[in-house]
Amino acid sequence: MKKIFYILILFVIAGALFSLGFNSKKQYEPNVYYQVYLEDEVLGVIKSKKELDDYIDKKGDNIKKELGVSNVYAPNGIKVEKIATYNKEISSVEDIYKQIEKEASFTIKGYQFTIRKTNEETGKESVSYIYTTTEDVFTEAITSFVETYIGEETYTAFINGDVVEITTTGSKTENIYINEDITIKERYIPTTEKIYNNSKELSQFLLFGKNIEMKEYTVKAGETLEQIAYNNEISVNELILSNPDFSGENQLVFAGQVITIGVPDPQLSAVIEEYVVEDQEVAYTTVEVYDETMNMGQMEVRQNGENGTVRVAQRVKTVNGVVTYVEPVSKTELKPTVNKIVALGSKYIPTVGSTKDWRWPTDSGWRITSSYGWRIDPYTGSRSFHNAIDIAGTGYGSNIYAVTNGVVYQSAYTSVNGYYIIINHNNGYYTYYGHMIRKSPLTVGSTVAKGDVIGYVGSTGAATGPHVHFAVWVGIPWRGYHINPLSMY
């Protein structure tokens, strides 16, 4: 009996020890929770990280609907770490969400496109970012941007390798590219950023930048595209860009017609490099000879003029629709030019120039790369009024001629127009020739005759390539007013 009693006592003691051991283990086992940080600041402790993620995603339904995405995520500065703690106090995901909402922006998974531009004038690099929901949004917008400036047919043919070889005349696309350095990275994008999920909206931004808001303009009686563009401080090409239905510069408009006015501010540079072969008419020059046997003021035509033809091959670089560089390759005479010869009854050179029959200021083979009017300056990238015409294509170091008789008014240099010369024709007109290769050998006060070589084509000053900046002023330059030089021909 005693033995049984002792055995029962042992069982009771063992049970008590087992019970104490179990309770002790339960009492000292830590809780596994998740601590939430925002930029290293503790927001609280939650029971489940997934519960927080699911709550953020659920609360982002409006964002998902607006951007067309599947999920919304925590801000980039959020960090959730697993911890073991004896503290049983935890925060609700609702409370944590409210704290996050006050301090940071939730994110979506998308793409960041980094665009690096180098200023050709200063050499400084600028960086900008574009955010999209998919890669396709950016790709389609870029394609639309390029096709706007280069043409859908030309771009498609180049991409497909359908390059037509030149047999006689025409153009061959050698390269098409975006000049900026663009990189892509998938990342979590704060929803406070402008995020594009529509390629059409992005392509409009790439074309017009912050000037994306268009205005309507009602055409007045007798107005032409050129007049409308001038009055709105844009070029004709830019006006056509804002009205895709227009067929070209010869588009007819009528009084009361409502058209769109937009001021392009391209965010990228669409470049096309072409090999161009074309036949150009070479206008004959009127050569004046002086005959002492004729009375002063008498004139006699001794040979009628006849225009010639040359076949010109050039490599042409165009950026966003503006020709920035012309490299002459070859020039073949197809039909010789016959100069008009006029005898004047005087043996000295008059200092008063004619107001008619002006000579062209360069050799044949020329191309007007920038017209008189509003434009985006190809060198500075800023919008300004171009008060001259830029003539390129005759080659670096080729001759620049006086268009008619006169006296050298100024020969100098500026950082914008490089070496230049101004001639006073003593008939109310002054002509300006800029970007010469070096200073003209003519000095102020020198008399020049029509056709005299007054300098050589260069690219000094603010120039993207060899050309002559040819301006015509009525009255002293910058005191009088400039006119379109082509109106004198």
CB atoms closer than 10 angstroms to residue 231: 13
Whether the CB-CB separation of 369 and 469 falls below 8 Å is answered with no
Please choose, from the candidates 254, 222, 229, 259, the residue with its C-alpha nearest in 3D space to the C-alpha of residue 244.
259
pLDDT digit string (tens) for 418-441? 999 999 999 999 999 999 999 988
**Which residue's structure tokens are 């030089």?**
485
d(CA 454, CA 446): 11
The structure's pTM equals 0.81
pLDDT in tens, 182-196: 999 999 999 999 999
Tens-place pLDDT, residues 33-65:
999 999 989 999 999 999 999 999 999 999 999
Average pLDDT, the chain: 90
Under the banding of pLDDT at 50, 70 and 90, the label for residue 459 is: very high
Q: Is residue 25 scored above 50 in pLDDT?
A: no
**Of 183, 196, 203, which is closest to residue 266 (Cα–Cα)?**
203
Confirm if 111 and 138 have CB atoms less than 8 A apart: yes
Q: Given a cut of 50, is residue 23 above it in pLDDT?
A: no
Dist CA 187 CA 443 (whole Å): 64
- DSSP secondary structure letter of residue 200: H
Place of tokens 């993207």: 464
CB 149 within 8 A of CB 158: no
Written as six digits, the tokens of 474 are: 């009525």
pLDDT bracket for residue 15 (50, 70, 90)? low
Query: Residues of CATH 2.70.70.10 domain(s) within the chain?
Result: 270-488
Whole-angstrom distance, CA of residue 242 vs CA of residue 355: 39
**Cα–Cα distance measured from residue 49 to residue 58, given in angstroms and rounded to the nearest whole number:** 14
Q: Residue 205 has what pLDDT? A: 93
Distance of CA 442 to the CA centre of its chain: 39
Tokens of residue 217, six digits: 């303009």
pLDDT at 1: 47
* pLDDT over 80 at 9, yes or no: no
What's the confidence (pLDDT) of residue 88?
83
pLDDT tens, position by position, 378-406: 888 899 999 999 999 999 999 999 999 99
**CATH of range 270-488; options 3.40.630.30, 2.70.70.10, 2.40.128.20, 3.30.465.10:** 2.70.70.10
Q: Could you give the CA distance from residue 97 to residue 72 in angstroms, rounded to a whole number?
A: 13
Helix axes 93-103, 49-59, angle to 10 degrees: 60
Rg (CA), the chain: 38
Per-residue confidence (pLDDT) for residue 16, from 0 to 100: 47
Q: Which residues neighbour 15 within 8 Å (Cβ) at sequence distance 6 or greater?
A: none
Candidates 157, 112, 161; CA nearest to 132 is 112
- Pairing state between β 125-132 and 195-196: parallel
Three-class SS state of 267: coil
